[in-house]
Amino acid sequence: MAVKTAAEYIESVKALNPKVYVAGKRVENMLENPTTLSVIRATAKVYDLAHDPKYKEIMVPASHLTGEPINRNLHVARSNYDLDMRAEMALLTSQKLGTCNYRCVGCDTLNALAASTWEMDKEYGTEYNTRLNNFIKWAQANDLACSGAITDPKGDRFKRPSEQDDPDMHLRVVEKRDDGIVVRGAKVSQSGAIGAHETIVLPGGALKPGEEQFAVAFALPNGTPGITYICQYTPYTAEREAAESIEELGNPEFGQRETSTIVFDDVFIPWERVFLCGETKYCGRLVARFAKTHRMNCGGACKVGYADLIIGASKLASEYTGLQKVPHIQEKLIDMVRISETSHACAIAAAAKGVEEPVGSGVWMPDDLFGNVAKLNIAHGFWEIMKMAGDIAGGGVVTMPSERDLENPEIGPYIKKYFKSAAPAEQRLRVIKFLQNWVAGLHGAGTWHGAGSPQAQRVALQFLTDWDAKKQLAKDLAHIKD
Amino acid sequence: MDNAFSGVSLEFITVCTPELEEKYMGLVGTFATLQDACCRKKALPGFYQPSLLVEASHIEHKLVLTLAGEMTDEELLFYIDTAIRNVGGFPAPRESTARLVVEVKSR
């Protein structure tokens, strides 16, 4: 079966040596660096989930190209049920990892490309869909971890790609050859490419005629010379580097969502791996298809999974401090559930209301309105959830001592004495440390911007809402005549 | 050939050292990526020592590489195996027919 195990994935990664930097130092071995190891562990866990019989329906569909069982992260949705299971996978992986399913963006790029390449081939007689399907079959047969890269550095936001002083601010084609293209530029805020076998690259947004050099989509192996990964660096990176044991950390195995800036220094892509080159007309549509899929999964499922963890930990924290019957604590927990499950409901609706897009392609896309609402709701709601979790956890969520203090023979007894509440100090400190990972961590801003910042969803809703229909409904009932 | 790869448009590459030979496969374009990396970027994929790749030349379907240092055939294969995996290739069955050739030696 092509569905690989975690061990097989890790074995395959050992042979890969992409050019990765963390805090100015090149990572010689990703399995030895604590930051990159957390990405590999998380990706490995996603492989493992596909072998758990409890999750087979969610994680292992049949390929529409070969009929073989595959990991859902390489699946193209062909029905509303497929969309629902895709969202369920996002929920499950978030619940089990507490961080990014690093194969998620790659999955959504493949789905968007499946729709758009079909459409381009129909209009232009190109071979993009054939190439894409060949790539997907190859990826499925080898169960490759595919990440996705979309966001350009952008430079001066008031200027179009073609107006930038430095044209490299948006990834572009700098040379076309008989055997392929050469690209230059960068993609930022990219999740998990360092632990992936391949990265699928899309244009960063809609483009106009005259901007053909920026209209490019392709897949490339992550060890291709010319690519450099510059990892994010935060206090959580420093904490993980300094930890004597991962048990000191809030999310010990899988950590925070790790991203990198990917630099493409005149990188060669053979034509077989190019899925769009110069077709500016289709860039906006392609990115919009990616966005609506990713917003359903990210906003309505992934962050709901995180919320499940936060709610569970908050409930534990209230029990460990003896406050579980206090009414305002119970109300806060209920509100956390309300916010989270509202977004979850939107994801379910986005899947249920999804349609074949474009008609005839066989590719199913989520409902645009519900996908955007899922993300917009959770973008605001996640801060509220964390606020309430911080309230329930108490000030200790940011003032707590280290677990190393607990182990110190001189001061450990003080920690055990003074942090004991309705539960032993060790348990209380552990759950507060877990909540610190969220409340004082990176996920608020990550949720805000992931799958597009809220303003992008607002713009989408402005266009997706039938304002005239709503006005007419009001006029009809209010007997307003024009 | 594993049925999992039926219907996939692939290319096959023979890697030869003075004494040993292995086969690899990848999507069409894998050989071109390796050739471009070695000849234009002057880099062996997966390795960053500047002086490792002494020479790289390409004639039609053959890529000839010279690595620095006195290496055994096993060591030469290790380097090219890593390089091909880093550009998306994987080992292929020995009986595969390969039109494309990577010849590697050291000095």
Nearest to B101 by CA among B66, B60, B51, B41: B60
My answer on whether A11 and A135 are in the same domain is: yes
pLDDT, position A259? 96
pLDDT, position B3? 66
In sequence order, which residues have a C-beta less than 8 Å from that of residue B58 and are 6 or more positions away? B35, B38, B39, B64
My answer on whether A323 and A262 are in the same domain is: no
**Whether A392 contacts A332, CB under 8 Å:** yes
Question: B40 in contact with A at a CB cutoff of 8 Å?
Answer: yes
Amino acid identity for residue A58 in this structure: I
Which of chain B's residues have a Cβ under 8 Å away from the Cβ of A20?
none
My answer on whether A273 and A294 are in the same domain is: no
Distance (Å) from the alpha carbon of B80 to chain A's nearest alpha carbon: 11
A221–B86 CB contact, under 8 Å: yes
**Whether A56 contacts A1, CB under 8 Å:** no
Nearest to A272 among B2, B28, B40 (CB): B28
Which pTM does this prediction carry?
0.96
Tens digit of pLDDT for each residue in A398-420? 999 998 999 999 999 999 999 99
My answer on whether A231 and A147 are in the same domain is: yes
pLDDT band at A1 (very low <50, low <70, confident <90, very high): low
Half-sphere exposure of A219 (CA within 13 A, CB side): 30
Amino acid identity for residue A265 in this structure: D
My answer on whether A133 and A207 are in the same domain is: yes
Nearest to B41 among A141, A226, A273 (CB): A226
My answer on whether A383 and A258 are in the same domain is: no
CA distances from B35 to A146, A325, B27 (A): 23, 68, 14
Tens digit of pLDDT for each residue in A232-279? 999 999 999 999 999 999 999 999 999 999 999 999 999 999 999 999
Distance (Å) from the alpha carbon of B18 to chain A's nearest alpha carbon: 23
Task: Please say which residue of A250, A281, A312 terminates a domain.
Answer: A281
Nearest to A232 by CA among A174, A192, A180, A175: A192
Nearest to B9 among A134, A223, A268 (CB): A134
**A473 domain-assigned:** yes
Which of chain B's residues have a Cβ under 8 Å away from the Cβ of A269?
29, 33
B33–A221 CB contact, under 8 Å: yes
Which letter does DSSP use for residue B94 in this model?
Answer: T
Which of chain B's residues have a Cβ under 8 Å away from the Cβ of A224?
33, 37, 45, 86-88
Give the residue from B13, B47, B85 with the most A CB atoms within 10 Å of its CB, the best one to mutate. B85
pLDDT, position A16? 93
**A1 domain-assigned:** no
Q: How far apart are CA B49 and CA B68, in angstroms?
A: 10
Which of chain A's residues have a Cβ under 8 Å away from the Cβ of B36?
179-180, 268
Query: Can you give the CATH number for the domain in which A107 is found?
Result: 2.40.110.10
In sequence order, which residues have a C-beta less than 8 Å from that of residue B105 and are 6 or more positions away? B17, B18, B65, B66, B67, B76
DSSP A363-374: -EE--HHHHHHH
B88–A221 CB contact, under 8 Å: yes
Task: Please say which residue of A245, A260, A281 terminates a domain.
Answer: A281
Q: CA quadruple A19, A21, A25, A27: dihedral positive or negative?
A: negative
Which residues of A have a CB under 8 Å from any CB of B?
2, 12, 15-19, 26, 65-66, 68, 134-135, 137-138, 141-142, 179-180, 197-198, 220-226, 266, 268-273
Task: Please say which residue of A281, A312, A345 terminates a domain.
Answer: A281
Question: B33 in contact with A at a CB cutoff of 8 Å?
Answer: yes
My answer on whether A313 and A264 are in the same domain is: no
Distance (Å) from the alpha carbon of A224 to chain B's nearest alpha carbon: 5
| Range A301-321 average pLDDT | 97
| A-B C-beta contacts closer than 8 Å | 91
Can you tell me which residue has the tokens 């890529």? B63
Closest chain A residue to the Cα of B37, Cα to Cα: A225
Question: B30 in contact with A at a CB cutoff of 8 Å?
Answer: yes
B87–A224 CB contact, under 8 Å: yes
My answer on whether A231 and A304 are in the same domain is: no
A134–B33 CB contact, under 8 Å: no
A17–B86 CB contact, under 8 Å: yes
Distance (Å) from the alpha carbon of A34 to chain B's nearest alpha carbon: 20
pLDDT, position A10? 97
pLDDT, position A165? 96
Distance (Å) from the alpha carbon of A13 to chain B's nearest alpha carbon: 10
pLDDT, position A201? 98
Tens digit of pLDDT for each residue in A325-346? 999 999 999 999 999 999 999 9
Nearest to A379 by CA among A434, A340, A323: A340
Nearest to A138 among B8, B86, B87 (CB): B8
B8–A223 CB contact, under 8 Å: no
Distance (Å) from the alpha carbon of A43 to chain B's nearest alpha carbon: 18
B48–A19 CB contact, under 8 Å: yes
Average pLDDT across each block of 10 residues of chain B; the chain has 107 residues. List them in order. Answer: 75 95 96 97 94 94 95 96 97 90 94
Distance (Å) from the alpha carbon of A221 to chain B's nearest alpha carbon: 5
My answer on whether A300 and A251 are in the same domain is: no
**Whether A84 contacts A49, CB under 8 Å:** no
Distance (Å) from the alpha carbon of A361 to chain B's nearest alpha carbon: 20
ipTM over 0.90: yes
Which of chain B's residues have a Cβ under 8 Å away from the Cβ of A273?
27, 29
| Range A223-234 average pLDDT | 97
Can you tell me which residue has the tokens 């607002």? A458
My answer on whether A340 and A216 are in the same domain is: no
My answer on whether A340 and A196 are in the same domain is: no
Stated as kind and residue range, the H or E segment containing A239 is helix A235-242
Which of chain B's residues have a Cβ under 8 Å away from the Cβ of A65?
7
Segments forming the whole domain that contains residue A350: 285-478
CA distances from A333 to A96, A168, A330, A392 (A): 21, 47, 5, 9
Question: B52 in contact with A at a CB cutoff of 8 Å?
Answer: no
Tens digit of pLDDT for each residue in A164-211? 999 999 999 999 999 999 999 999 999 999 999 999 999 999 999 999
My answer on whether A289 and A276 are in the same domain is: no
Which of chain B's residues have a Cβ under 8 Å away from the Cβ of A184?
none
pLDDT, position A457? 94
Domain count, chain A: 2
Query: Can you give the CATH number for the domain in which A467 is found?
Result: 1.20.140.10
Which of chain A's residues have a Cβ under 8 Å away from the Cβ of B40?
268
